[in-house]
Structure 1
Amino acid sequence: MTHATSLIPEWERADAVMLAWPHEQTDWAPWLEEARATYLQVIDAVNQAGAAVILLCQPHQAQDIQAQLPAGARVLLVPGQYNDTWMRDYGFLTCSSEAGNYPVEFGFNGWGGKFDAALDNQANQRYLAGLCRLPLQTCELIAEGGALEIDQHGHLLSTAQCLLNPKRNGDTSLADYTSTFVQALGASKVTIFEHGHLEGDDTDGHVDTLVRFTPDAGLVIQACDNRPDDSHYAGLKALCDECATRLPEHHQFRLPLPHMVNADAERLPASYANFLICNDHVLAPVYQQPEDADAISVLQQAFPRHTIVPVECSVLVQQYGSLHCISMQVPQHTLTGQVLSQLQKGVSIYGV
């Protein structure tokens, strides 16, 4: 595998954000129109942040989607087949090297075989990698983008509960994971948290629902200080304490925890830490909950040089994910000149 300078932090300038359009065969079927309305809001927010959108969609729906998008949108529709829309977990990551930026993929098996993901696992090689200047590099390890967080110094974060699920990589040890992340992603340091989990989370505790870096040695943490009687309080307090012990030089920005349940009264894993950094903006999930305003305030303190853009995501959490989970940024100097040119032409279909 090509040696990476590093997995590129999310706050580096991005030319595009990849999404996958909800269709009738995805788990969005019961909320399809509401989910699509949220995607249109995300597309507009990404465009307003100065990035285009690469939108994976079913081939027969491309023209209909094109008609739904505003005339001024910058969206490249990429027809293809896929199981679901969690682009963060199967879309390619981007690393830098002396030769330039290149896409990297891990294997994806539906978070340890919980869901069929055979088509998702082929999406990079079949549809997405061809948009890039340099060839796709493949690591055979099963790992999801939502399980990995990195800063500009190559410090990578993940969680033990996720990595040690034996249905991902058998008895692979944390030391073996660390070695792979150093080799494949150029990580200079790896911290794997032992604490923290949200009820209803299918991912086994992805770090992007729990702890996120800021460019200024900050940690944005999905805490529970506002709910001392909540079932999450002890675990999330232990996570904050672990962050203080293992990353003492980092200032903590603690988010409040909302309480959301579905129609069956099951707790939903609503996380304000599941935000997307897009150039000078932070797209922040909100859920029509009393904690929304406090969460926005915390994020503004954590990212004082960014514009915080609330995006209503209550429908996304019905399927146990949120804004970061559905998106994957593509840094500048990654896409081909042809793709960049097409992204400037409004709404178009790739190859047409």
Structure 2
Amino acid sequence: MMKTTNNRRFPAEWEKQQGILLCFPHNGKDWPGKYEAVQWAFVEFIKKVATFEQVFLVVADENQKEKVNTMLETAHIELTNVSYIIHKTNRSWMRDSGPIIVKNGTEREALNFNFNGWAKYKNIQLDKFIPAKVGEFLHIPVTQVMYKGKAVIVEGGAIDTNGRGTLLTSEECLMHPDIQVRNPDFTKADYEAVFKEYLGITNVIWLGDGIEGDDTHGHIDDLCRFVNEDTIVTIVETDPTDKNFKPLQENLKRLQNAKLENGKSPVIVVLPMPKRLEFDGLRLPASYANFLILNNCVLVPTFNDSNDRKALNILSECFPDREIIGISATDFIWGFGTLHCLSQQIPE
């Protein structure tokens, strides 16, 4: 067990939120042939979030703001629950390009984890400035995450916490030697030192590989998530011929052998997978683990699949005090991500 040396703490997603950071989609290339549908799906997403809490919505400019405002009015969304942040972006994936907001003592601190397009996409010049812009808008000081004199790259979708010192992540995302390498030559000990210093993490649970089709190469928010301080939901594939079957079984085994920060074993709850979804012969990373926890509800991606209802029922048992709401994600997933990937919570 490691001891933390400062007052930083990465709050769990279920802790009280000021609001949710979203960015209205404007890069049609992320959703080929679906851009129009995705915009209206996003309006529905905003409507659901705005019912429960404030939406901090990044838009490219005043023109887009006016257009979006009209769409929101058409959908009968309470506009007082939407605050606009004007900032041009390359993409809309706030989980990864947005700041990770932690508590530092009694204050909040916005961490800039130096987004680099998942070590895959080059057009990220605008997205690199999102943490600074959001921090300025919310009056939260921004800190660039550094280690041994170098900027550290970790996306929000690569990590999940119980708010008590344990963090979930995957080796495929952070430790692969030559595919989408975020931090060359980083060891597990290096990552754990960074997580300790900046997130107050004393215990890291490393899973293996992510799901097929995940263009982030192994993000944890498509795999497994904390639902309370000692309970983790993890996805499993029941078809032994499916490429996801073995890696997800391996992850399940690791979780069953894992320990929390207090030395106890976590409670493991299994979530099903939707049936295989493809676009142009490419598998899409459809996963019920990409849910978003709000103050009084949980928004869950659904895929017009027979397992949708099962996943919603399982998650309703995991969150007895929150309403569980399914949101159709069959359009979003064409961009290789859904509700959690598109959002970032802002703790109070």
Q: Where does residue 52 of structure 1 map in the other structure?
A: 54
User: Deviation digits for residues 195-254 of structure 1, max 9, x if unmatched?
Assistant: 2321111111111111100115111101113x2332211111111111001136222111
Q: 1:345 corresponds to which residue? A: none
The residue type equivalent to 2:51 in the other structure is Q
1:265 is matched with: 281
Structure 2 distance, partners of 1:113, 1:233, is 26
Alignment match of 1:246 (pick from 258, 265, 273): 258
Aligned to 1:215: 228
Q: Higher mean Cα deviation, 108-117 or 52-61?
A: 108-117
Contact 2:171/2:209 (8 A) holds in 1:
no
8 Å contact from structure 2 (residues 17, 347) kept in 1:
yes
Equivalent in the alignment of 1:90: 97
Higher mean alpha-carbon deviation, 21-30 vs 242-251, is at: 21-30
SS at match of 2:334: helix
Task: Check whether the contact 2:113–2:144 (CA below 8 A) recurs between aligned residues.
Answer: yes
Q: Deviations over 1:73-116 (max 9, x none)?
A: 31112111111011000111111122411211101111113342
- Give yes or no for the alignment of 1:18 onto 2:24: no
Q: Which runs of 5+ in 1 are unaligned?
A: 333-352
- Which residues in structure 2 correspond to 1:57-68 (within 5 Å)? 57-59=59-61, 60-68=63-71
Change (3 A) 1:296 1:114: same
> Secondary structure, in 3 states, of the residue corresponding to 2:69?
helix
Q: Is the 8 A contact 1:26 1:85 kept in 2?
A: no
Shift of 1:292: 0.5
Cα distance in 1 for partners of 2:193, 2:128 equals 23
Query: Deviation string for 1:235-283 (max 9, x for gaps)?
Result: 1111111100113622211111112333423221101000000012111
Residue of structure 1 aligned with 2:157, choices 124, 146, 149 = 146
Would you say the 8 A contact 2:162–2:229 is kept in 1? Answer: no
1:315 aligns with 2:331: yes
8 Å Cα contact 1:111-1:203 kept in structure 2: yes
Q: 1:38 & 1:25 partners in 2: Cα distance? A: 14
1:275 and 2:287 correspond:
no
Residue identity in the other structure for 1:255: L
Aligned partners of 2:326, 2:250: CA distance in 1, in Å? 28
Question: Distance in 1 between the 2:27 and 2:193 partners?
Answer: 40
**Residue type matched to 1:54 in 2?**
F
Q: Identity over aligned residues, as a percent? A: 30
* Superposition CA RMSD, Å: 1.7
Distance in 2, Cα, partners of 1:53 & 1:184: 26
Whether the 8 Å CA contact 2:93–2:341 is kept in 1: the answer is: yes
Partner of 2:170: 159
* Cα pair distance change 1:176/1:326, threshold 3 Å: same
- Structure 2 counterpart SS, 1:107: coil
2:197 maps to 1:188? no
What is the rounded CA distance, in whole Å, between the counterparts of 2:41 and 2:252 in structure 1? 31
- How far apart, CA to CA, are the structure 1 residues paired with 2:296 and 2:205? 27
The answer to whether structure 1 residue 234 and structure 2 residue 237 are counterparts is no
Inter-partner Cα distance in structure 1 for 2:104 and 2:78: 34
Counterpart of 1:102 in structure 2 is 109
Out of 41, 47, 61, the residue aligned to residue 38 of structure 1 is 41
Distance (whole Å) between structure 2 residues aligned to residue 199 and residue 114 of structure 1 = 19
Any conservation in 2 of the 1:282–1:309 contact (CA below 8 Å)? Answer: yes
Shift of 1:26: 4.6
Cα shift at 1:123: 1.4
Write the distance in 2 (CA, Å) between the matches of 1:63 and 1:106.
31
Structure 2 counterpart SS, 1:282: strand
Q: TM-score, normalised by structure 2?
A: 0.89
Letter in 1 for 2:216: T
Residue 72, structure 1, aligned to residue 78, structure 2: yes
CA distance in 1, matches of 2:269, 2:77: 39
**Which region of structure 1 is more displaced relative to structure 2, 132-141 or 280-289?**
132-141
User: Could you say which residue in structure 1 is the equivalent of 2:187?
Assistant: 173
8 Å CA contact 1:285, 1:322 repeated in 2: yes
CA separation of 1:241 and 1:83: change in aligned 2, threshold 3 A: same
Indicate conservation of the 8 Å contact 2:50/2:77, yes or no.
no
TM-fit CA distance, 1:323: 0.8
Contact in 2 for aligned 1:259/1:267 (Cα 8 Å) = no
